[in-house]
Each structure stands twice: as C-alpha cells, then as structure tokens.
A and B are shown apart, each in its own frame.
Chain A
Amino acid sequence: MAAGFKTAEPLEYHRSFLKENCRPDGRELGEFRTTTLNIGSISTADGSALVKIGNTTVICGIKGELTSPPADAPNSGYIVPNVDLPPLCSSKFRPGPPGEQAQAASQFMADVIESSEVLLKEDLCIEKAKLCWVLYCDIMCLDYDGNLLDACVIALVAALKNAQLPEVSINKDTDLAEVNTDKKRHLNVAKHPVSSSFAVFDDSIVIVDPTAEEETLSTAMMTVVTDENETLCMLHKPGGTSLSSEKLQDCISRAVTRNREVGKLINTVTQSVETDK
C-alpha cells in the first residue's frame, strides 16, 4: 500500500512525513545521513579519498604534475577540479560530454577552492615564472543519491590533506627539474571548508542533506560552505523559491555545527592513517 502511494503521489508521500517532522528514511529534518570517510584508497594517485554520505559515494583522486606558472601570476600554481557524473552513478546521467549538473558542480568546486583559500596557490610554485605544480583533482561520483556537493567538498579536502608531493628542485647548471621521490611532504592545507546542502519543500520547510528523490521534489536547493573560523565561503542558491533571512540564518547555524562534525571526522581519519604507518 505504502509503496503504491509513494509511486503515485511522491510529493504527498513526502509531505505526510514532513508534517510529522521526520522523513521517509527515519531521519529528522536537520539530520545528516551517516558520513564515512576512507583516505588513501587509490595507491597510484598522490592523494585520494572516498566519501559516503548515506548511499551517495564520491571518490576523489589528486595527481600533481609539473608545469610552468601562468603568465599573469608567475608565483602561483594551478588547482584544477573536475567533477564527473558517469552513467554508472544514476540513470539520470547519459554517456557523452559532461551535462549541466556536472559542469555546474565543477565550477562550484573551483569557486570553493578559490573563495575558501583551502590551499594557497602560491605554495604550489617551485621557482618563480619557471616551474610550479598543477594539481588535478578528479572527483567521480560512484553512486548518486543526492547531496553531491557536500560529498565532493569533503572528498576534496580529505584528499588534499592526504596528498604528498615529492620535493622538486631546479638544477642550476642544467636548468632542469630534479625530482626527489624519496622526500615527500604534505600540502599545507590552510582552511577546512565544509559544505552543507539544504532542500526547501513547499516554500517553507527546510531539510538538510536531501536524497536524490527529495532533491527532485523540492522547490529549491541551497548549499552553504563555511570554514572552521565560522566564516562563510559560499552561499550557493541557484534559484528556486525564495527564502527569508531568518531561515537563511538557521541554515548557516546548522552549517557551522556540521563543519565541526566533519572537521572532527577528517582529523580522526587522517590521524588513524598516520598512526598505522
């Protein structure tokens, strides 16, 4: 019976739960799904992380390459994020060139890196105007069940923390780069941005961490990115129904507490990997 109701009237089905301040999967309105983190899972990458938020699974691999710095900023490097949504992760996505959602997510990640200054691009420079690192941060979704952006941000930050780059110096005589693979060091991850996504139902009910189904039924989506100093890095709301300032404030407060939870998670996982060695 319930299954039939769910298929025929998905919106009514969700509304009947929201009226009781809970959700079909048993969560409260302000409750995130269980988040798990696994780092260093790809041995061929310089840094990697696998994140699961409920069913949503995202993997991020970081590969560093050497290149010459951009002409307009000779003492900085590059960080190139790319989000891939393959047909594997959901029937929503078709094979072929990246769709709008994948492109928008890539741009979102680039904006998060830029706004939060998670990594200073100047740190990636090895020799001014000659040599610098380019970090390719490839993020791939393996299972899409909503809240892609939150998973991507956690995966990126954890992978950056996990990444180790070899020491590189320029030989004065030959003018060539020399890579010392024995000496590796971690990146200087200055800030820890964490994003929290919200979905708006019927113009007034705000829920956190929406599943794919809740995303399609909601009237608006919003993502708030904060860093550990409670500074906002992003308030991304791509349209949809409007929200009052009070509701926004509630969302920001929720995002700040979420930041602490995720920060703790990333720290414990990184430390446990370190002690294993």
Chain B
Amino acid sequence: MRSRLATTMEVDGLSAFSLREFGCEQNLLSRPDGSSSFVQGDTSVLAGVYGPAEVKISKEIYDRATMEVVIQPKVGLPGVKERAREQCVRETCEAALLSTLHPRSSLSLVLQVVHDDGSLLSCCLNAACMALMDAGLPMGCLFCGVTCAIDPEGHIVTDPTAQQEKDSRAVMTFAIDSAQHRVMMSSTKGSFSVNELQQCIAVSQRASEKIFQFYRESVRRRYSKTV
C-alpha cells in the first residue's frame, strides 16, 4: 500500500522541475474513517478524517456539511500560523468536496505534522486529499499542493527543502485542481513580479499532472488486492 515517486523533468527546456521522492500510504490508522500519510522528501504529514458524523447544533449548516480542519504542529500548541494554514486547507477541501450531499453533518480533518523539511503546506494538502479519498467522501475533483521557491538568481525550485525556502527570495504554494488544472488556493511569501508568478503557476500545473498520476498509482496499489 506504500507507493513512491521521484521525478526530475525538463519541460520546454525553459524551466526544469524536480520533485523530491514522494511516498503515500492510505488507510493506515484503524480509528478514523479515512487516513493517509504523505511524505515529500523529509517532510511528512499524517492525516485522519472523521465523517460524515454528528454535528454540534451551533455549527450545523442546513444545506451542506460542516468542515473542520485542525493542524497539529510537531512540537507545541497550534498557533496563528497553523490557523492560517487550516483556513487554506479547509476552504480548498470545501471546494473539492460535494458537501451538499451530506447536509447537517460534520467532516473533521486532523493533520499531524510528523516532520517539516519545507513545502509543508503542499504536503498538508496532498495528505488531506488522500485522506478524504480514503474516507470515500464524495468529491467533484481532486486537488494537490505544489510549492515553488524563487532563488535570488531568479530560478524556480519546485518542492523546496526548508534550507532552499530560507535561501529563496519568494515562496509560493498553490493548490491545483484535477479537472482543469487551475489555481484553487494560493499562498505566497516574499515579493515577485507578475511574470514570475505566471511562470510558477505554469510549472506547478505541470508538476500537478505528475502528482495526480502518483495519486492514481497509490490508489491502484491500495485496491490491487481486491481486483
């Protein structure tokens, strides 16, 4: 059930993108309704999904499910930074899920950071998507996270490590959907030009195709025993 991916690709000779070794395992926890662990190089995130389950009356929404996301850092208590990440992951999940099919219920997603070596938000998004899929929740499309860093010379580094992020001029994380490969979520740090932004989006879109392929491989491996 564990799958791996490692790619380095030259696209159009213009911008090469390389992803670190990816790993993913689904259904590894017994209690949650869906679970996954996602590894990108040394960055690793564990995700668990509960739902559709009973919802608190105060949080009930009459025409769709209530989505909650909690991100637990490796050490210490979740702070303002985690809240901002939670918001990004939650709204991305809400857009991908067909939550109107389970009104008045709660979907909760817990993400535990196991190790952070850069590209954490994209790893969280990938783990979240795999966990939602594992839980069998109805989704209109898939999504994946891609982080790009622009180094001081202006080169684009995809899936950067923590050191590469630190040395870079700007870091951007995008969530790309599987239906039209468009930008669902964007979170950036540092300043950059419009041209650089468009280049990063283009590279992320191409990287996303690789990641979706990796998703398919992992799910296929998971179901290989029941075929």
A residues engaging B (CB < 8 A)?
A: 100, 103-104, 106-108, 110-111, 114-117, 219-220, 222, 227, 230-245, 248-249, 252
| Given the contacts A104-B87, A232-B193, A239-B91, A115 and B188 also touching, CB distance less than 8 Å | yes
- Say whether B188 contacts A234, CB under 8 Å: yes
For the complex, give the distance between the alpha carbons of A252 and B183 in Å. Answer: 14
A-B CB pair tally, cutoff 8 Å: 107
- If over half of A's interface residues share one DSSP class (helix, strand or loop), that class is named, otherwise mixed; here it is mixed
For the complex, give the distance between the alpha carbons of A249 and B186 in Å. Answer: 14
B94 at the interface (CB under 8 A from A): yes
| 28 residue pairs from A and B, CB less than 8 Å apart | A103-B84, A104-B84, A107-B80, A111-B189, A115-B170, A115-B190, A116-B191, A220-B95, A231-B191, A232-B197, A234-B188, A235-B186, A236-B188, A238-B87, A238-B91, A239-B89, A239-B93, A239-B175, A239-B184, A240-B91, A240-B94, A240-B185, A242-B95, A242-B176, A242-B182, A248-B201, A252-B194, A252-B197
Residues in chain B near residue A110, CB distance under 8 A: 80
For the complex, give the distance between the alpha carbons of A25 and B183 in Å. Answer: 30
Residue of B nearest to A107 (CB): B84
B88 at the interface (CB under 8 A from A): yes
Q: Which of B110-151 contact A (CB under 8 A)?
A: none
Residues in chain A near residue B80, CB distance under 8 A: 103, 106-107, 110
For the complex, give the distance between the alpha carbons of A114 and B81 in Å. Answer: 14
Residue of A nearest to B189 (CB): A115
For the complex, give the distance between the alpha carbons of A234 and B109 in Å. Answer: 27
B165 at the interface (CB under 8 A from A): no
B180 at the interface (CB under 8 A from A): yes
Residue of B nearest to A252 (CB): B194
For the complex, give the distance between the alpha carbons of A42 and B147 in Å. Answer: 42
For the complex, give the distance between the alpha carbons of A115 and B62 in Å. Answer: 40
Please give the distance in Å from A248's CB to the nearest CB on chain B. Answer: 7
For the complex, give the distance between the alpha carbons of A107 and B175 in Å. Answer: 19
- Say whether B183 contacts A100, CB under 8 Å: no
Residues in chain A near residue B202, CB distance under 8 A: 245
- Say whether B191 contacts A115, CB under 8 Å: yes
For the complex, give the distance between the alpha carbons of A166 and B104 in Å. Answer: 57
For the complex, give the distance between the alpha carbons of A248 and B189 in Å. Answer: 17
